[in-house]
Amino acid sequence: MTQRQTSLAGKLVYTIIVVIALFWVAFPFYWAFINSIKKPAETFRPTWIPILQFAPTLEHWTSELAIPETQHAILNSTMIAIGAATLSTILGTLAAYALARFQFNRPSNGGLTSWFLSQRIMPPVLFVIPFFLIMRQINLLDTVWGLILLNATFTLPLPVIILSQMFRELPSELEEAARVDGASRLQAFFQVALPLVAPGLVAAWILCLAFSWNEFLFALSLTNKSAIPMPVIIAGAEHTRGVQFHYVGVRVLLTMLPPTILALLAQRYIVRGLTLGAVKG
């Protein structure tokens, strides 16, 4: 096999892998969209092309958006995701700066980092019953505030890990120069360090928002009426006659589109934030 044939074969394999990956990622959107514009009877038929194979309709969108429970769930998801992402980013930024600039002994910096990581490694199902009892004791069961605190707890490692490395890559001389000019350590942190890691802040905040928006287990276990978010609403599309796939499609798109659009709009900040400090020199 010549070098040209090897190059063409490599490009062909690469193209096939990319096509499979795109299909894997895009098919859930397509499935949800197609079912959201089908009539109930059409959702059980192998029809995939609107107009040619079936007559599309928007009646499921209008009826679903008019349901008070869906409107309330969208509002709950928005408040939970934004609140948890903001809280975890604020606390995670402070913790990341402390790990990058100070040396701890008991526990050590490595031990603290491992403790933060353990919150992402351990299965959340282990904490359902303890958190249920705690939330009931402090009267936060079935409340948006309770889910904000829980989601912030489990997304906290993301900003800690992302931002601690960025703070380590920042020359400490910049902050020392600011302190020589009369700034306090807090002023140096807010006026010098934070602006330099702004892309990382955006990336961490969006990642925390995405994880909080999609969280299902705690939302299902700790809510029953007032604080139900969209992931639980999706799971509630089962009817006495079976799963209502047309409503599932609408609810899936309503849940997937906001974080997807936000990620697309801020993708340059996400890429820059996640790669900042990855290459030295």
CA-CA distance, 120 to 205, in Å (whole number)? 16
Given this model, what pLDDT does residue 80 score? Answer: 95
Q: Is residue 203 part of a domain?
A: yes
Q: Model's pTM, two decimal places?
A: 0.83
Given this model, what pLDDT does residue 275 score? Answer: 65
Q: Is residue 280 part of a domain?
A: no
CA-CA distance, 251 to 238, in Å (whole number)? 12
Last residue of a domain, one of 57, 79, 104: 57
3-state secondary structure the chain: CCHHHHHHHHHHHHHHHHHHHHHHHHHHHHHHHHHHCCCHHHHHCCCCCECCCECCCCHHHHHHHCCHHHHHHHHHHHHHHHHHHHHHHHHHHHHHHHHHHCCCCCCCHHHHHHHHHHHHHCCHHHHHHHHHHHHHHCCCCCCHHHHHHHHHHHHCHHHHHHHHHHHHHCCHHHHHHHHHCCCCHHHHHHHHHHHHCHHHHHHHHHHHHHHHHHCCHHHHHHCCCCCCCHHHHHHCCEECCEECHHHHHHHHHHHHHHHHHHHHHCHHHHHHHHHCCCCCC
**CATH number of the domain residue 89 falls in:** 1.10.3720.10
Instruction: Give me the residues of the chain with pLDDT under 50, please.
Output: 277-281
Given this model, what pLDDT does residue 116 score? Answer: 79
Given this model, what pLDDT does residue 279 score? Answer: 44
* Residue 185 and residue 46 share a domain: no
Q: Is residue 256 part of a domain?
A: yes
Domain interval for residue 189: 64-275
Given this model, what pLDDT does residue 273 score? Answer: 61
Q: Is residue 172 part of a domain?
A: yes
* Residue 250 and residue 221 share a domain: yes
Q: Is residue 266 part of a domain?
A: yes
* Residue 130 and residue 48 share a domain: no
* Residue 69 and residue 25 share a domain: no
* Residue 106 and residue 49 share a domain: no
In the chain, the number of structural domains is 2
* Residue 71 and residue 11 share a domain: no
Given this model, what pLDDT does residue 91 score? Answer: 94
| Main-chain dihedrals φ then ψ at residue 101, nearest 5 degrees | -110, -15
Q: Is residue 233 part of a domain?
A: yes
- Nearest Cα to 197, choosing from 263, 274, 266, 268? 274
* Residue 45 and residue 96 share a domain: no
276 with 202: CB under 8 angstroms?
no
* Residue 119 and residue 15 share a domain: no
Q: Is residue 281 part of a domain?
A: no
* Residue 256 and residue 126 share a domain: yes
* Residue 131 and residue 26 share a domain: no
* Residue 123 and residue 185 share a domain: yes
Q: Is residue 188 part of a domain?
A: yes
* Residue 188 and residue 70 share a domain: yes
